[in-house]
């Protein structure tokens, strides 16, 4: 499971710059549910082979210095509670402030691994200005420059050193292993109701209230001889848990469940249409390379005009998931569930399909013969052969010359040809180009 790193600190110390540096400025998933502040951002980070989730807590302006814990409760406390490690960002130019001391005092009670990142310290590794940050009592300060990228690698290595590396990442799937199926979606779309319907028992607590709980739990399940592990990102309510800010909805658990799954069932509420949040979750599924099926719940509760408007919103907001099957269901009335299972098994089969090199190369050559890539200046890309580079998602590696000039449109054309032949549905397909070096490039002679 991906480790989670929370960035905390007072305003204008550079947390967002650090967040963008760690996530390579990808679109952040923003928590916009009732009860959560809008400026908690979630994104994916990667360093070397290590992947992790980053939470940017945004800045907070306490009305009075002593009220910091109350002001942090909605945002920073929730992020810290979800995190495996905390990076406490401070500003070397303004030195240690009273707010920094208040934050440090809170973090000491949180029982989390905390690293102090002294930002805006470009070229100041040996500076005596760093010494005063020892008084926060949080260990050795790490001088960094979020805007210049200095000191970031060693900071993240220190943050992740206690968490084991995921060795399964590129492993070939075991044919007898259960299919890990994550059910993802906004609060109150019917995730727990759907799984209870599948299981035929009240295994998961389903309340008519958004965000019943925060933990992702897995439930073993078998259907038609195929074993599944159902990962419900709503989870079971912990009795006596009063930490409302986290309990509302844990974005982190959803992101981790998506990353750990083979197939994701994206559940959308037909009565509410495709929201910005649905599109964010869908984007994260695509970025994670997961096979996906879209299930539209409460389809029985909308009239023909609403259905038409919903179809349009799917086309507009989820255009990037064109390869995914869309199934209309009612979890409560057990309607449309058979086709959902068919789409799930088809998506998994597609994501793990073997594509032999001779077949891929023949398809590539046929595609080029039918429509050659456009010339870019003096160069016309030459596509020579293709092989499979991985599964879940399937990756096709194409070798040749001047492939950096292949256009996005031509890449989509090739993807369509591969998809059609191998009947790939419900899974992203990654295409990578590897150009051979031209031996005459370095020949200066006439």
Q: Are residues 383 and 309 in the same domain?
A: no
Q: Are residues 254 and 328 in the same domain?
A: yes
Query: At residue 241, does pLDDT exceed 50?
Result: no
Q: Are residues 339 and 367 in the same domain?
A: no
Lowest-pLDDT range, 129-138, 187-196, 296-305, 350-359?
187-196
Q: Are residues 206 and 257 in the same domain?
A: yes
Residue 214 — very low, low, confident or very high, per pLDDT cuts 50/70/90?
very low
The angle formed by the CA atoms of residues 4, 6 and 9, to the nearest 5 degrees, is 170
- pLDDT the model gives residue 70: 52
Q: Are residues 151 and 207 in the same domain?
A: no
CA distance 55 to 139: 22
Residue 58 near residue 64 (C-beta atoms within 8 A): no
Q: Are residues 424 and 316 in the same domain?
A: no
Beta-carbon count within 10 A of 135 CB: 11
Q: Are residues 425 and 367 in the same domain?
A: yes
What is the pairing mode between strands 430-435 and 325-328? Answer: unpaired
When the pLDDT of each residue in the chain is averaged and rounded to a whole number, the result is: 79
Structural domain includes residue 384: yes
Close Cβ partners of 192 (under 8 Å, ≥ 6 residues apart): 204, 205, 206, 212, 232, 234
Query: At residue 72, does pLDDT exceed 60?
Result: no
Domain ranges, residue 363: 357-435
Q: How many domains does the chain contain in total?
A: 3
Query: At residue 246, does pLDDT exceed 90?
Result: no
Beta-carbon count within 10 A of 429 CB: 20
Beta-carbon count within 10 A of 161 CB: 9
Query: At residue 40, does pLDDT exceed 70?
Result: no
- pLDDT the model gives residue 240: 34
- pLDDT the model gives residue 438: 53
Structural domain includes residue 300: yes
The angle formed by the CA atoms of residues 48, 51 and 55, to the nearest 5 degrees, is 125
Query: At residue 17, does pLDDT exceed 90?
Result: no
Last residue of a domain, one of 282, 317, 350: 350
Residue 386 near residue 364 (C-beta atoms within 8 A): yes
Query: At residue 76, does pLDDT exceed 70?
Result: yes
Residue 173 — very low, low, confident or very high, per pLDDT cuts 50/70/90?
low
Query: At residue 266, does pLDDT exceed 70?
Result: yes
Q: Is the dihedral of CA 297, 32, 111, 157 positive or negative?
A: positive
CATH number at 40 reads: 3.40.50.300
Last residue of a domain, one of 127, 160, 193: 160
Average pLDDT over residues 114-135: 83
Beta-carbon count within 10 A of 33 CB: 18
Structural domain includes residue 442: no
- pLDDT the model gives residue 439: 47
Query: At residue 397, does pLDDT exceed 90?
Result: yes
- pLDDT the model gives residue 248: 43
Structural domain includes residue 362: yes
- pLDDT the model gives residue 445: 41
Structural domain includes residue 169: no
- pLDDT the model gives residue 429: 95
Structural domain includes residue 132: yes
Q: Are residues 105 and 189 in the same domain?
A: no
- pLDDT the model gives residue 280: 85
Q: Are residues 345 and 371 in the same domain?
A: no
Q: Are residues 344 and 394 in the same domain?
A: no
Q: Tokens standing for 240? A: 């006596």
CATH number at 400 reads: 3.30.300.20
DSSP state of 151: T
335 versus 188: the higher-pLDDT residue is 335
Q: Are residues 238 and 345 in the same domain?
A: yes
Query: At residue 60, does pLDDT exceed 80?
Result: no
Residue 402 — very low, low, confident or very high, per pLDDT cuts 50/70/90?
confident
Query: At residue 205, does pLDDT exceed 90?
Result: no
SS3 15: helix
Query: At residue 64, does pLDDT exceed 50?
Result: no
DSSP state of 139: S
- pLDDT the model gives residue 239: 32
- pLDDT the model gives residue 75: 65
**Nearest in space to 258 (alpha carbons), one of 26, 42, 57, 429:** 42
Query: At residue 25, does pLDDT exceed 70?
Result: no
Structural domain includes residue 219: yes
Residue 58 near residue 90 (C-beta atoms within 8 A): no
19 versus 237: the higher-pLDDT residue is 19
Query: At residue 242, does pLDDT exceed 50?
Result: no
Token look-up 């992790």 returns 52
Q: Are residues 363 and 344 in the same domain?
A: no
Query: At residue 94, does pLDDT exceed 60?
Result: yes
407 versus 73: the higher-pLDDT residue is 407
Residue 292 — very low, low, confident or very high, per pLDDT cuts 50/70/90?
very high
DSSP assignment of 249-290, as one string?
A: --HHHHHHHHHH-SEEEEEEETTT---HHHHHHHHHHHHHT-
Last residue of a domain, one of 350, 371, 404: 350
Structural domain includes residue 440: no
Query: At residue 268, does pLDDT exceed 90?
Result: yes
Average pLDDT over residues 297-314: 91
Average pLDDT over residues 20-42: 57
Query: At residue 251, does pLDDT exceed 80?
Result: no
């Amino acid at each position: 499971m991906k480790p989670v790193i929370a960035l905390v600190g007072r305003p204008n110390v550079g947390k967002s710059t650090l967040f963008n540096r760690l996530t390579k400025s990808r679109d952040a998933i923003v928590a916009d549910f009732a009860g959560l502040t809008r400026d908690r951002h979630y994104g994916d980070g990667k360093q070397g082979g290590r992947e992790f989730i980053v939470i940017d807590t945004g800045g907070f302006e306490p009305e009075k210095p002593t009220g910091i814990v109350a002001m942090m409760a909605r945002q920073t406390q929730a992020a810290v509670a979800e995190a495996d490690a905390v990076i406490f960002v401070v500003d070397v130019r303004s030195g240690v402030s009273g707010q920094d001391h208040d934050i440090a005092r809170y973090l000491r009670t949180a029982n989390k691994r905390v690293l102090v990142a002294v930002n805006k310290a470009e070229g100041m590794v040996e500076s005596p200005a760093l010494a005063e940050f020892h008084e926060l009592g949080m260990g050795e300060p790490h001088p960094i420059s979020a805007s210049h990228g200095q000191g970031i690698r060693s900071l993240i290595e220190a943050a992740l050193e206690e968490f084991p590396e995921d060795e399964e990442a590129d492993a070939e799937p075991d044919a007898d292993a259960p299919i890990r199926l994550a059910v993802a979606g906004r609060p109150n779309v019917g995730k727990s109701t759907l799984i209870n319907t599948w299981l035929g028992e009240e295994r998961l607590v389903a309340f008519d209230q958004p965000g019943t709980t925060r933990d992702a739990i897995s439930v073993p399940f078998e259907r038609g001889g195929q074993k599944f592990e159902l990962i419900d990102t709503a989870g079971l309510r912990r009795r006596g848990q009063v930490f409302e800010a986290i309990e509302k909805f844990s974005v982190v658990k959803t992101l981790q469940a998506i990353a750990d799954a083979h197939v994701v069932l994206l559940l959308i509420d037909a009565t509410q249409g495709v929201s910005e949040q649905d599109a964010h979750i869908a984007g994260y599924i695509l970025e994670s390379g997961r096979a996906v099926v879209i299930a539209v719940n409460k389809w029985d509760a909308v009239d023909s005009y609403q259905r038409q408007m919903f179809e349009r919103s799917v086309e507009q907001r989820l255009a990037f998931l064109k390869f995914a099957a869309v199934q209309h269901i009612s979890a409560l009335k057990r309607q449309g569930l058979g086709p959902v299972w068919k789409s799930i098994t088809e998506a998994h089969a597609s994501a793990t399909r073997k594509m032999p090199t001779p077949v891929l190369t023949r398809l590539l050559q046929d595609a080029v013969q039918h429509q050659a890539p456009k010339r870019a200046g003096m160069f016309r890309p030459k596509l020579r052969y293709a092989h499979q580079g991985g599964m879940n998602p399937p990756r096709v590696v194409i070798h040749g010359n001047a492939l950096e000039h292949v256009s996005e449109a031509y890449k989509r054309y090739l993807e369509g040809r591969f998809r059609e032949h191998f009947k790939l549905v419900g899974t992203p397909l990654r295409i990578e180009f590897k150009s051979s070096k031209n031996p005459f490039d370095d020949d200066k002679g006439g």
